[in-house]
Amino acid sequence: MNEPPSTPLLQQRPFRMLTYTRFSSRLAQNALNFGLVLLIVNETGSSFTSSLLVLALVVPSTVAGIAAGAAADLFPKRLLIVAGDLARAAVCLLFVRTSDGVAQYYIVAVVLSAAAQFATNAEGAVMPAIVRRAELARANAIGQAVGGAAQVLGFGVLTPVMLRVFGEGDPLFMVAAGLFTLAAVQAIGIGRGHSIDRAEIGARDPGETEGPWWKVGWKVMRSNPSVMRAAIELTLISTAMIVLGGLIPKYIKETLGLPVDIGALILMPAAVGVVLGLRVAGFLAHRVPHAVLSSFGFVTFVVLLALVAFVNQEAEFLGGYGIFAWLNDIEIGSFDGGGAMAMILVLPLGFAYAIVTVAAQTVINDLVPLHLQGRVNATQAAMAAFAASLPVLAFGAIGDWVGVSPAVALLAALIGAGAVANRGRRGKSAPAQVGGLR
């Protein structure tokens, strides 16, 4: 018997409200993250100090993230989303009342990051409970697209406008407090989490949750080689983005020769690439073997990241050929052929990032039991935070000592080596997998 056609995802109220709350909270969080970077760079001018801020934003994921993942599996998810958003709104208002120097920026970053874990892990855990299994890949793609749009508006519009108009961080934090409050109200509209005509993903095993709560996610990942490989893929790509977060301010100033708030707009085509990649990956996730999709994404990402490291040299070289001579004619203030090359390259770079992310996340959604997804996702996030904790500082120091371009090139090489090593891992046979996954 044929199943009745399903309602489009964005017409389903629970998923639509989840999408709204994600957009509002991520717009605020991205704006604050970039705002904190700009405030610190303006006061210190150091790549190391901006990397230290990135570390302050990701390290809480190691402890708070695992605790939040366990909470997402054990407590009402909607309540956790609301609480996490309201807590961040309160932190923003407290910052406005007590802001005082660079040290305060780091403290606020740590507290915001810790509070964010409870909301974001609950958002991830509620997804399979309100979306049918066949639609999970598309739902993940929409979620990533929402995050990309929020990043574009946060980095490219909200933060630069607020800081340039008002010249200080307080108004930005007040707007962010309003957005977090709006996100909390929108989260209430998600309703009670329950599956819509769908069985729980994965089979329950009485031994799955034995042992300390902070080890459950790790135990589940280790029990399935496919899940572990997917988690490592997410860890590698997340580590690359975390390290890049510390290098980008200096890259914009040193390599592109632009002010950081203006130069960030040059990198915005990456968000367009992410959106395109999400649409493609959401369609292919259950149609193409995971190994093929992931390998394509990683190879493309590594090659393009290496090219991004040396955009000025590439623009100068290509400008010597007639078909690319237009690169020599670009001169808009400090924006030149190197900036144009960066804009061209970051679009497919974002595309490759999206391919890897959706492919790996779909494996986890398909193979991890629903009642354990919060802990597995939190453990994976903690893996990324732990893996990036020393490299983000090391690459920040390398960027200060030998230049940001060699640092970005080295990062590309190491991520590529890690992806090859992960693809070569062998493990025991995994449980039956879904669709085209391998």
pLDDT tens digits, 190-206: 876 554 343 344 444 44
Residues 336-345, mean pLDDT to the nearest whole number: 92
Q: What are the residues facing 335 on neighbouring strands?
A: 332
What's the mean pLDDT in 75-99?
A: 91
Helix ranges (DSSP H) in 131-215: 136-153, 159-166, 170-188
Nearest to 223 by CA among 99, 81, 69, 376: 376
The answer to which of 64-68, 92-96, 187-191, 384-388 has the lowest mean pLDDT is: 64-68
Please give the average per-residue pLDDT across 296-302, as a whole number: 94
Architecture field, domain 9-191+214-423: Up-down Bundle (1.20)
Q: Does residue 103 or residue 4 have the better pLDDT?
A: 103
pTM as predicted = 0.72
Check residue 436 and give its pLDDT.
40
Span 76-101, average pLDDT: 89
**Which tens digit of pLDDT belongs to each residue from 406-419?**
999 999 999 999 99
Contact at 8 Å (CB) between 124 and 373?
yes
DSSP secondary structure code for residue 332 in this structure: E
| pLDDT grade for 382, boundaries at 50, 70 and 90 | confident
Distance CA 290, CA 310 (A): 31
Closest CA to 348 of 311, 409, 314, 304: 304
State the first-to-last Cα distance of the chain, in angstroms, to the nearest integer: 29
- Which of 99, 118, 264 has its CA nearest to residue 183? 118
- Kindly report the number of other CB atoms within 10 A of residue 429's CB atom: 8
Which range (169-173, 216-220, 300-304, 413-417) has the least confidence?
A: 216-220
C-beta contacts of 211-220 below 8 A and 24+ residues apart: 213/70, 213/375, 214/66, 214/67, 214/70, 216/70, 216/372, 216/375, 217/66, 217/69, 217/372, 217/375, 217/376, 217/377, 217/378, 217/379, 217/380, 218/379, 220/368, 220/369, 220/372, 220/375, 220/376
Rounded Cα distance, 268 and 13, in Å = 30
Q: Where are the domains of the chain?
A: 9-191+214-423
Determine the Cα–Cα distance for residues 413 and 410; give it in Å rounded to an integer.
5
Confidence at residue 347, expressed as pLDDT on a 0 to 100 scale: 93
| Cα–Cα distance list, 337 to 266, 315, 331, 389 (Å) | 12, 6, 8, 34
Of 176 and 138, the one with more pLDDT: 176
Could you give the CA distance from residue 265 to residue 60 in angstroms, rounded to a whole number?
28
List C-alpha distances in Å: 10 to 35, 77, 278, 310, 332.
31, 20, 16, 41, 41
For residue 40 the two structure tokens come to: 């610190």
* Residue corresponding to tokens 């629903």: 370
The reported pLDDT for the residue numbered 192 is 66
Question: Tokens 């955009």 identify what position?
Answer: 311
